[in-house]
Amino acid sequence: MSQQVRVRFAPSPTGPLHIGGVRTALFNYLFAKKNGGTFFLRIEDTDQNRFVPGAEEYIMEALEWLGIAPDETIGKNEKFGPYKQSERKHLYQEYADQLINTDWAYYAFDTAESLDAHRKEHEEQGKTFIYNHHNREKLDTSLVISKEETAKRIANGDAYVIRFKTPVDEIIHLKDIIRGIVKFDTNLLDDKVLFKSDGMPTYHLANIVDDHLMETTHVIRGEEWLPSMPLHVLLYHAFGWAAPEFAHLPLILKPVGNGKLSKRDGDKLGFPVFPLEWKTAEGISSGYREKGFFPEAVVNFLALLGWNDGTDKELYSLEELVAAFDLERVHKAGAKFDPEKNKWFNHQYLVQAADADLAKDYAPILVEKGFSTSIERITKIVSLIKERAHFVSDFWEMSEFFFVAPTEYDAKASKNWKEETPELMQQLITVLEGISDFTSVNIETIVKQWMTANEIGMGKVMQPFRLSLVGALKGPHLFDIVEVIGKEETIARINKAIVSF
Ligand code: GLU
C-alpha cells in the first residue's frame, strides 16, 4: 500500500454503542494496526435531534476498556481536528456551494406539507414517491426557476435544502473489498439531502467531506451502509476527489431466528448487547464489563463474528489478531451471535489468567460477604475452582464452603450417609488427628492407607466425608479442600455431620 493507511470509526452519539458497532471499531483497529496505519474516532453528531448526552463519553470509555482506543480523536493527537462534526459546522457550506456551482446539486424549497401531499397522491395511485430524476423538475427546485429567483428566495429567508443531482441512466460498478463488484442503477437512487438552510450538513455530505479532509484511505463499516455507497462514491467524483476503498461488514444476527441482533434478543435470552452498562430513566441495560467479561475475551469473540483466518484457531490475543487479520477474509454472510460461545471465551481467559490476579478480583466480593482472608489463601482457593467457572462472579457459589461450614446437607446426596457411617467418621477423625504434615497429598496417602489396611470401600468414606465438608457431592479434589480448611475445621465439620444426621 503506497499511501499511509488511515481508517475511522464514525459513530453517531445516539445512545450506548451496540456490540455491532464495537465490532466495526475493532475491525478498523485491526486493519490499521496490521498495516502500520492510524485508527481515528470521529463523532458524527450532525443530527442534533438524535443526540443523547453521555453517549460520546460512553463510546470513548468502551474503546478504552477494550484496549482498542483510537490514535486520534477529540482531545488526542488532533491532527485533522476537530473530531466532532458539530464543531466542524463552518466547513460544510462551501462544499455544498461547490456542488451547486458545478451543477451536481440543486436547491429544493418544497415544504413538508407539499412533500406529504405528493406522497399521498402517489400512494393513491399505488406508487411510491421518490425524490429523484422522475420528478425533480416538477417540484419546487432551482432546476426550474431562474438563478435570480433562487437567489431572491434564499435572501428572503425561504427554507431550503440542497439535494444531490443524481446522474440518470447509469449502472455503476463499485468495488467492495469484502463483496467484490457491486452494481447500482442510478435511476433507482433518490436525490439525497446534503445540506439544510439551518446551516447543518446531513450525514452524507459531512461524512464525505470529513473522510476526504481527514485523509481516510478505507471506509470499513456495517452492511447497513452499503446502499449509501453509490451516493458516496458519486460525491467523491463530483468533488473531483479520489474515493477511499470500501468494505461493508456482515450483519450480526440473532442467536435464534432471523434478522439483526437487537437489544430485545439480549433482554430475552439474558446477555448484554452493550460493552458497558447504560443507565437511563427507564432502567439499566447490562454491559459486558459489568457482567464480568474480560475485555480480551470480548475482543476475541467479536473478532470471530464474521472473520476467521482459515484455520480452526479460536483463541487470539489482540496482537495475534492484528497479525492474522485480513479484510479479504471477512465473510459476506451475516454472523450468528452465540451467547453460550461468548461465555466459553470468557472461561478460556479466566482459566489462563494468573490465580493471584483472579484472587485480587475475588477479594472484594469476599469482603462484601463478610470474609477477609489472606490473599494467599484466596489464590489457593481460586486455583482449585477456576477450571469450572465462567466468571469471577461464579466463584462465591463454587467456594462458599471454604469459608462457611454447611448448615444443611443435599437431600439426594444424604442417602450416602448410612448406618455404619458415624463409626467410620469417628475413625477418620482419629486418623486425621494423627497427621502432622497436613498437606493434600500427605493426607490423601494416609487416609487411603487406613482404608486399605482396614478393607474399607472408598465410597463408604469419601462420600460422607465430602458431604460433611461441603454439604453436597460437589467441589474440587476433596483432599485439597481438607488442606485449605485445615485440621481443626475439618474435624469440627465431621463432628457436626455426625450429630446432624
Ligand atoms: N455515523 C454513521 C454511523 O452512525 C457512520 C457510518 C459510516 O461509517 O460511514 O454509523
Mean pLDDT of the chain: 97
Length of the chain: 501
Give the whole-angstrom CA distance, residue 389 versus residue 144: 71
Local structure of residue 43 (DSSP, 8 states): B
Q: Which domains does the chain have, with CATH numbers?
A: 88-249 (3.90.800.10), 354-404 (1.10.8), 413-500 (1.10.10.350)
Hey, which of 41, 221, 224, 260 would you mutate to test ligand 1's pocket, going by the most ligand atoms within 8 Å of its Cβ?
Answer: 221
pLDDT recorded at residue 257: 87
pLDDT digits (tens, 9 = 90+) for 309-333: 999 999 999 999 999 999 999 999 9
Share of the chain above pLDDT 90, in %: 97
Instruction: Locate the ligand 1 atom nearest the alpha carbon of residue 211 and give its number.
Output: 9
pLDDT over threshold 60, residue 1: no
Specify whether the CB–CB gap between 25 and 9 falls below 8 A. yes
pLDDT recorded at residue 2: 59
pLDDT digits (tens, 9 = 90+) for 10-45: 999 999 999 999 999 999 999 999 999 999 999 999
pTM of the model: 0.94
Q: Closest by alpha carbon to 7, among 312, 215, 208, 278?
A: 215
Instruction: Locate the ligand 1 atom nearest the alpha carbon of residue 24 and give its number.
Output: 8
Q: Is the CB of 10 under 6 A from ligand 1?
A: yes
What does the block give as the cell for 351? 482459566
Hey, which of 7, 22, 23, 44 would you mutate to test ligand 1's pocket, going by the most ligand atoms within 8 Å of its Cβ?
Answer: 44
Q: Where are the beta strands (DSSP E) in 76-188?
A: 105-108, 161-164, 171-176, 180-185
pLDDT recorded at residue 3: 81
The mean pLDDT value for 474-495 works out to 98
pLDDT digits (tens, 9 = 90+) for 47-64: 888 899 999 999 999 999
Amino acid occupying residue 204:
H
Q: How far is the CA of 297 from the centre of ligand 1 (A)?
A: 25
Catalytic residue among 196, 260, 263, 343: 263
Q: For strand 335-336 and strand 161-164, is the pairing parallel, antiparallel, or unpaired? A: unpaired
Specify whether the CB–CB gap between 80 and 42 falls below 8 A. no
Q: Where are the beta strands (DSSP E) in 267-387?
A: 278-280, 283-285, 335-336
Give the whole-angstrom CA distance, residue 151 versus residue 124: 35
* In 414-477, alpha helices (H): 421-433, 440-453, 458-470
268 a catalytic residue: no
The mean pLDDT value for 339-357 works out to 98
The mean pLDDT value for 97-110 works out to 98
pLDDT digits (tens, 9 = 90+) for 401-439: 999 999 999 999 999 999 999 999 999 999 999 999 999
pLDDT over threshold 50, residue 94: yes
The mean pLDDT value for 121-138 works out to 95
pLDDT over threshold 50, residue 368: yes
Q: How far is the CA of 317 from the centre of ligand 1 (A)?
A: 27
pLDDT over threshold 80, residue 372: yes
The mean pLDDT value for 476-500 works out to 98
What does the block give as the cell for 287? 454491559
b/e map 163-186, b = 16+ CB within 10 Å: bbbbbeeeebebebbbbeebebeb
Enclosing H/E stretch for 9: strand 6-9
Q: Where are the beta strands (DSSP E) in 190-256?
A: 193-196, 218-222, 245-249, 252-253
Give rounded-to-5 percent helix, strand, coil for the chain.
50, 15, 40
Q: How far is the CA of 319 from the centre of ligand 1 (A)?
A: 26
Q: Is the CB of 207 under 6 A from ligand 1?
A: yes
Amino acid occupying residue 309:
D
Q: How far is the CA of 208 from the centre of ligand 1 (A)?
A: 11
Instruction: Locate the ligand 1 atom nearest the alpha carbon of residue 10 and give its number.
Output: 5
Give the whole-angstrom CA distance, residue 383 versus residue 385: 6
pLDDT recorded at residue 48: 84
Hey, which of 203, 208, 224 would you mutate to test ligand 1's pocket, going by the most ligand atoms within 8 Å of its Cβ?
Answer: 203
Q: Is the CB of 221 under 6 A from ligand 1?
A: yes
453 by DSSP, 3-state: which? helix
User: C-alpha distances in angstroms, 104 versus 81, 108, 326?
Assistant: 28, 13, 36
Q: How far is the CA of 219 from the centre of ligand 1 (A)?
A: 10
